[in-house]
Structure 1
C-alpha cells in the first residue's frame, strides 16, 4: 500500500447491552430514524440498526455520540458516505 492510499481511521465504537440499549461513538450524523430502523453516518461508514420500538435517547453530534434503545435485531455497515451527490444513492445502495 502506497503512503497516499492510506486513510486515517477515526474512532468508532458500538456497544450493545442485552440487545436493548446501545452506545455508538464516532457518529457524524443521524440521517433517519423511526421505530423499526435508524440510519447513522459514522466515521466507519453508514450504519443501519434494525429492530422494533427503537428510540434515539441521547444525541451529541459535538461528541459524536448516540444512545439508542429498543429491541435491536441487526446492525449493518456500508462504506457509502453521505456527502454530495452520493447522498441521493445511499438508500438504493443499502437496500440492494
Structure 2
C-alpha cells in the first residue's frame, strides 16, 4: 500500500478544514455526473454555469457547483459527498 507523505496529509487536512477539495471531480466525467444528478431519482436541476464553472445545479434553494481553474477542479463538501456516492453506485452497481 502506498504511503501518503506528511506534506500531503497536512494539505488534505487544510483543504478539508477550508471546505474545498481540489482535483476530486474528474473533468471528463462531469457530463456523466450531471446526468446522474439530474435524473428522476435525484431531481437536481441544471443552471447555466458562470465563468470558471463546469457544473452548476440547484435543488430546494441549494446551489452546488464545480469550478475549473484551468488545471484542476474545485468543489465543496456537498459535491464531494455526492461525487463519492456517484462513484460507488455508478462504478460498482449492485
**TM > 0.5:** no
User: Normalising by the residue count of structure 2, what TM-score does the alignment of the two structures yield?
Assistant: 0.31
More helix by share: 2
Normalized per residue, the structure richer in strand is 1
Greater relative contact order (Cα 8 A, min sep 6): structure 1 or 2?
2
